[in-house]
Amino acid sequence: MKKFLFYLALLCPYFLYAQPAINISKNLNLHFISPERIQYVDISSKDLTGDLPLKNVFRLRLKDSVSGFTGAFVTIAGEKFIAEYRIVPGEAAGNTAIEISPADTRPLDISGIGFSENELKRMALGLISRKPEKRMEKVKAFGLTGQLNHVYTLGDYIFLDIGYKNTTRLRYDIADFRFRIDDKKVNRASNVQSFELKPEFVLFSTPSFSKAYRNIFVFKKMSFPGNKVLLAELSEKQLSGRILTLRISWQDILDADSLPN
């Protein structure tokens, strides 16, 4: 975060252009709608207050106790852009939802930031629209079948296409979907080291499924030795919940295909 703010400070001279002027009045909120996740916001005046009710929406308002507000600047940074607005007193005239357009932004080129969430979503949607081809790993239990359909890579990202089929008449209510790296063989006399992994992006947040479930999980580049295995664990909400663990080997990752265009 400190590194990000350092680069942000270096970019400040580039904002010596005419920032768009936005009117603000009491009893009305302004909503800045970003095309991607908002990472950082700066408000130059204590007369204004704001919050992030959604990951891509910044809400700004004039404090009730303020009198004599003369103006301020608001800086909004997304994953790949930064924008600055001049906030001035005046009637909003019903325009309280401001789309952050490309014309209002400057690109942020920070090494290592990777793809934006919108870019990952677009790529994941492209994969989910394709028919599964390889069907690499499989696990069966409790009338359920789990399947690693495909592994793709692009840059520093790994895309796991995972699907499940339910042959029972019981709906499966998803409690959690966890990924961790474990030893292939567990020896009771040895200490087992387990590392949990968090996806960078998950395409769908499906709460349950009756017959079939498929999703795309995106991770930053990973590596683990041959004596380890990546476990994808699906667990059910009920007390007698069914837990299905899909084992993904390092060779599966090495055999990944390039992301199709």
Q: Do β-strands 195-197 and 201-202 pair in parallel, antiparallel, or remain unpaired?
A: unpaired
pLDDT at 219 over 90: yes
- Predicted TM-score (pTM) of this structure: 0.64
State the pLDDT at residue 195.
84
Kindly report each contact of residues 238-243 with a partner whose C-beta sits within 8 Å and lies 24 or more positions away, as own/partner: 238/173, 241/175, 242/141, 242/142, 242/144, 242/172
Low-confidence winner among 48-62, 67-81, 137-151, 214-228 (lowest mean pLDDT): 214-228
State the pLDDT at residue 15.
42
Which range has highest mean pLDDT (153-157, 199-203, 218-222)? 199-203
Q: How many domains does the chain have?
A: 2
d(CA 90, CA 111): 40
State the pLDDT at residue 9.
45
Which range has highest mean pLDDT (12-26, 94-108, 203-217, 230-244)? 203-217
From 63, 95, 113, the end of a domain falls on 113
Mean pLDDT to the nearest integer, 6-19: 48
From 89, 113, 137, the end of a domain falls on 113
* CATH number of the domain residue 160 falls in: 2.60.40
- 8 band by pLDDT with thresholds 50, 70 and 90: very low
- 25 band by pLDDT with thresholds 50, 70 and 90: confident
| Residues 123 and 231 both lie in one domain | yes
From 113, 136, 163, the end of a domain falls on 113
State the pLDDT at residue 118.
84
- Measuring CA to CA, how many Å separate 171 from each of 23, 143, 148, 234? 51, 11, 21, 14
Tokens (6 digits) for 123: 């790529």
| Residues 19 and 93 both lie in one domain | yes
d(CA 103, CA 26): 28
Output the average pLDDT for the chain: 84
User: Which of 160, 198, 195, 166 lies closest to 181 in space, CA to CA?
Assistant: 195
Domain that holds residue 81: 2-113
The pLDDT > 70 percentage for the chain reads 86
Tokens (6 digits) for 224: 């683990």
